Amino acid sequence: MITNQILNMIEKYKTIIIHHHVNPDPDCIGSQLGLKYIIKESYPEKLVYAVGEHVDRTEFMGKLDKIEDSIYSDALVIIVDVGDKLRVFDKRFLKGKEIIKIDHHPLTEEFCTLEWVDTNFASCTEMVIDFYLQNKDKLNMTEDAAKVLYAGLLTDTGRFYFNSVTERTLSHGAEVYKYGFNKQELYANLYYKSIAEMKFSGFLMNNFSYTKNGLGYMKIDQKILDEFNIKPEFASSMVNILANITEIIMWIFFTEDKKLGKIRVNFRSRGPIINKLAAKYGGGGHIFASGAHVENWGIVDKIIADADILCQEFNK
């Protein structure tokens, strides 16, 4: 079993460094910190680091570590919720002695000593919980680990609503839910919105575009972000405001990101497969949820045209 191989490798190392992907979401940080807390609790003598940078919405989940370059030379590196080198945050991960990948996105490239890639998992945190359950004789869960793992499950499954949810997702959820962390506080951290954010939701509902083939989309430029005092990360995370609309089978948000100097593209679908479309524009992801960054609004219009054709073909 790959989960045993992963544990054997963890046991071999004194130092373990866990990396997340760029713009980490709660599933990524939950996997990273959950794994760190489990390893630390089970092997207190090991040095376990979770490196990287939070985005605003993951800040509450727990502290990340700053470490020196020299620590990598004798360390095991684990990357979570990410499959390709380019999307791993902090390129120092390549300096680890060996690398393990734990990911639930479709495989795009292999470069690790151990690759545990399985798209049957609804979230990466579900994989971490699975890893713990498969090695329960040696591993210990903690309340803090349970909390961040549950946060990842909630957000990557839309609160256990998406197609990707299985019986295992629910039972693994129950496995961490039984720990005593404060559920209401967790929901507040994940789901409460400010008044400005709520007003922005209202703006989106009133102003999205759609085609007769069932494509819904929203272009959010800097002017709109300024007007509502909203950050691009938050704006693009609102893409599912166009989910659950009878007439819409695919929905895309295009959000200008001054810091990146690019336009963030968030693809979602409940019909046409969209990760190939995302890949065509330099991105990737799951079959019904993908992302990309593109250079300008001209490319955005090309994506809209391509996406509309996919919807049209799907309807046939």
Interaction site with Mn ion (CB under 5 A):
27, 81, 124, 156
Q: How far is the CB of 301 from Mn ion (least distance, A)?
A: 29
- Judged by beta carbon, residue 176 or residue 224, the one nearer Mn ion is 176
The C-alpha angle with vertex 241 and arms to 225 and 252, in degrees rounded to 5, equals 75
Q: How far is the CB of 30 from Mn ion (least distance, A)?
A: 9
Q: How far is the CB of 286 from Mn ion (least distance, A)?
A: 8
- Judged by beta carbon, residue 128 or residue 242, the one nearer Mn ion is 128
Name the closest residue to Mn ion (Cβ): 27
Q: How far is the CB of 247 from Mn ion (least distance, A)?
A: 28
Residue 181 CA: distances (Å) to CA of 25, 151, 185, 260 = 20, 11, 9, 36
Q: How far is the CB of 290 from Mn ion (least distance, A)?
A: 12
- Judged by beta carbon, residue 27 or residue 256, the one nearer Mn ion is 27
- Judged by beta carbon, residue 156 or residue 308, the one nearer Mn ion is 156
Overall residue count recorded for the chain in this entry: 316
Residue 297 to residue 311: CA distance in whole angstroms: 21
Q: How far is the CB of 180 from Mn ion (least distance, A)?
A: 25
Reading the block at residue 163, the tokens are 């197609």
Q: How far is the CB of 123 from Mn ion (least distance, A)?
A: 5
Reading the block at residue 37, the tokens are 């807390």
Reading the block at residue 85, the tokens are 């080198």
- Judged by beta carbon, residue 124 or residue 146, the one nearer Mn ion is 124
Q: How far is the CB of 249 from Mn ion (least distance, A)?
A: 23
- Judged by beta carbon, residue 155 or residue 255, the one nearer Mn ion is 155
- Judged by beta carbon, residue 124 or residue 303, the one nearer Mn ion is 124
For strands 98-103 and 262-269, give the pairing: unpaired
- Judged by beta carbon, residue 81 or residue 256, the one nearer Mn ion is 81
